[in-house]
Amino acid sequence: MIEPRWLDEREQRAWRGLITMWTQLSAELGRRMAAESELSMSDFAVLVALTDECEARVRAYELAEVLQWEKSRLSHHLSRMEKRGLISRDGCTEDGRGQVVEVTPAGKRAIEAAAPAHVESVRELFFDALSVDQVEALAAIAEAGLARVRAAGTPTPQR
């Protein structure tokens, strides 16, 4: 067995730092979101995706694409959100297999109520700690990393 290329000290710092930072940050954002609204981070992500689109009605597979979620996860989550009245689903006329997802008025109200505080939190907990250069660097790092994962990752999980 070949001795693996262990992480050097610098990489170790970056890697463990990234893990801990992300874990803590997303946990805290989630707690705040839950405390101040009736939404979880996942609910929020779905509503953002639905609201971002120009079209009000979005095909489920497009949603999965945008969110980069497994179709199964999306299906389960949409069921829960539908039960809570945040979104609605209807069969698709052009494609008998398809489902079309739409935000309900209640869903729209929910995200509009939650968004401002969430953005504030993201700033307070993260961006306020960074310089403009660091933000720029982070964007580049994220893009490079993502490209790498996409290239090397599992050919097709259950999208």
Partner DNA sequence: GGTAGGTCGGTGACATGTCAACTACGTTCG
Partner DNA sequence: CGAACGTAGTTGACATGTCACCGACCTACC
DSSP 154: -
Q: Which is nearer to DNA, 131 or 154 (CB)?
A: 154
The interface partner of residue 17, options being DNA, its own copies, none and the CB cut-off 5 to 8 Å by kind, is its own copies
Distant-in-sequence contacts of 70-77, Cβ < 8 A, 24+ apart: 70/157, 70/158, 70/159, 71/158, 71/159, 72/158, 77/42, 77/43, 77/46
Assess contact for 90 and 30: CB atoms under 8 A.
no
Which of these ranges, 9-17, 71-79, 123-131, 135-143, lies near DNA under the rule CB under 7 A?
71-79
DSSP of 89-111: EEE-SS-TT-EEEEE-HHHHHHH
Which of these ranges, 6-14, 40-48, 119-127, 139-147, lies near DNA under the rule CB under 7 A?
40-48
Which of these ranges, 36-44, 48-56, 117-125, 127-135, lies near DNA under the rule CB under 7 A?
36-44
Distance between first and last Cα of the chain:
35
The residues binding its own copies (CB under 8 A) are 1, 4-7, 10-11, 13-15, 17-18, 20-25, 27-28, 31, 68, 115-117, 119-120, 122-130, 132, 134-150, 152-154, 157
Q: Which is nearer to DNA, 15 or 22 (CB)?
A: 22
Task: Show contacts with DNA in window 91-150 (CB under 7 A).
Answer: 92, 95-99
C-alpha 83/C-alpha 113 separation (Å) is 20
Q: Which two tokens stand for residue 123?
A: 């700033």
The interface partner of residue 108, options being its own copies, DNA, none and the CB cut-off 5 to 8 Å by kind, is none
- CB neighbours (10 Å) of residue 86? 23
Residues in contact with DNA by CB under 7 A are 27, 30-31, 34, 40, 42-43, 59-61, 64, 69-80, 89, 92, 95-99, 157-158
